Structure 1
Amino acid sequence: MLQTLKAETRPHHERAERVVRLLSPDLTLSGYQRHLEALYGLYAPLEDSLAACLEGRFPELRLAERWKVPLLEADLLALGHDGASLARLPQHPGLPALSAVPEALGALYVLEGATLGGQLILRHLTRHFEGAAVGGFAFFRAYGESVGPMWKAFGEALLRACPDPAAAPRVVRGAQDTFEAFEAWLREVHADAPSCL
């Protein structure tokens, strides 16, 4: 399933990656914060939808350990937000519907893949902002030393949660739709931002 997802979502993944500007050598602190705010606007409603569809049904997914909104909140609080300002951040209005398990698993694949890929971003941010008061990069640090094992556990749990090969196209569609939502939202959020964002 993971190989099918990787192959079938590659162009969607690549388009979404192109609007992530965190690896720029000219990244500013305000650009980093703006990107985290945009991610919060994606993850908060998306994780709510995933919880409504999946929580309690597949304990092997270990969903409570995978939620990233608390990590984004920690990073944003370290950058000067408070609870009230977090509540005012815009949220993506056009996320895909995740009312069925296969599509929700596809969306979760995108989030878990982003956690895996975020390790490269973490290394860059740690070097780039060395000595600056930017917090602990909780979102990109995510599972710490357990990123690889958590990814492997997700792949195994995905097969147990969706064993029917006939459901694979729906899982793929959920992942593709989620990548497209990420790309559209980040493109919109960054549209008026300077190129060094």
Structure 2
Amino acid sequence: MELLQRLKTETRPHHERTEGVVRLMDADLTPAGYQRQLEAFHGLYAPLEALLAAPLTALEPALDWEARWKTPLLEADLRAMGHDTASLARLPRASSLPALPGLAEALGCAYVLEGSTLGGQLILRHLARHFGADARVGTFAFFRAYGDQVGPMWRAFGEALTRASARAASESFDAAVVQGARDTFDTFAAWLKREHDVPVRL
């Protein structure tokens, strides 16, 4: 089975649990609730992207990871909502992160982050309708990541993942990619549950 399809199949329960604690599609979502969700995302993306930076350099220059980091976009959104450098630094950050000892696990983690950008297009459309012209929610920079290049960026990631798998030619490499993705989904679910006190069935 091609690795991307295997990832989708073998991480489905973990993905579904994570979706269950993301409150952005709620009909009663308020600007304050939206801000809390972005603050929670920031608390996970900032340390996670810092952890990913070193192992993913192995795929440069094929993939421009600097252009894929979401922490700056989250910070732009939060600044639009009233945060400044000092208050951003005080936001809680996750300390329990997935183990990413090598490229395979890092690719599994990146699969989750890149996939969330792809899936975020549905959330963006909902938020734009839900909040309308409410200036308190800013410009949705995080969910507008990549602009009209979301599809090409996802395909480029998929191609890089497939090439890395082919070079490794190892079942243990592919299994480690899948485990990295599972662990990342579970980290998201646990962190969002902690931040929002939403029950998660693990």
Name the TM-score class by shorter chain. over 0.9
TM-score, scaled to structure 2: 0.92
Distance in 1 (alpha carbons) for counterparts of 2:45 and 2:95: 12
Q: Answer yes or no: is the 8 Å Cα contact 1:61–1:158 preserved in 2.
A: no
Distance in 1 (alpha carbons) for counterparts of 2:22 and 2:105: 24
Distance in 2 (alpha carbons) for counterparts of 1:174 and 1:180: 10
Distance in 2 (alpha carbons) for counterparts of 1:6 and 1:104: 16
Match of 2:180 in 1: 174
Q: Which of 187, 191, 196 is 1:190 aligned to? A: 196
Gaps in structure 1 of 5+ consecutive residues = 193-197
Match of 1:71 in 2: 73
Q: Answer yes or no: is the 8 Å Cα contact 1:106–1:175 preserved in 2.
A: yes
Q: Which of 87, 90, 112 is 1:88 aligned to? A: 90
Distance in 1 (alpha carbons) for counterparts of 2:10 and 2:60: 24
Aligned residues: 192
Aligned partner letter, 1:114: S
Identity of aligned residues (%): 65
Moved over 4 A (4+): none
What is the CA distance between 1:161 and its match in structure 2?
A: 2.6
SS of match in other structure, 2:143: helix
Q: Which of 145, 150, 163 is 1:147 aligned to? A: 150
Distance in 2 (alpha carbons) for counterparts of 1:176 and 1:61: 23
| Structure 1 residues 78-130: Cα deviation after superposition (integer angstroms, max 9, x where no partner) | 00000111111111111112121100000000000000000010001111111
Aligned partner letter, 2:195: V
Match of 1:119 in 2: 121
CA RMSD of aligned residues (A): 1.2
TM-score, scaled to structure 1: 0.94
Q: Which of 160, 164, 184 is 1:161 aligned to? A: 164
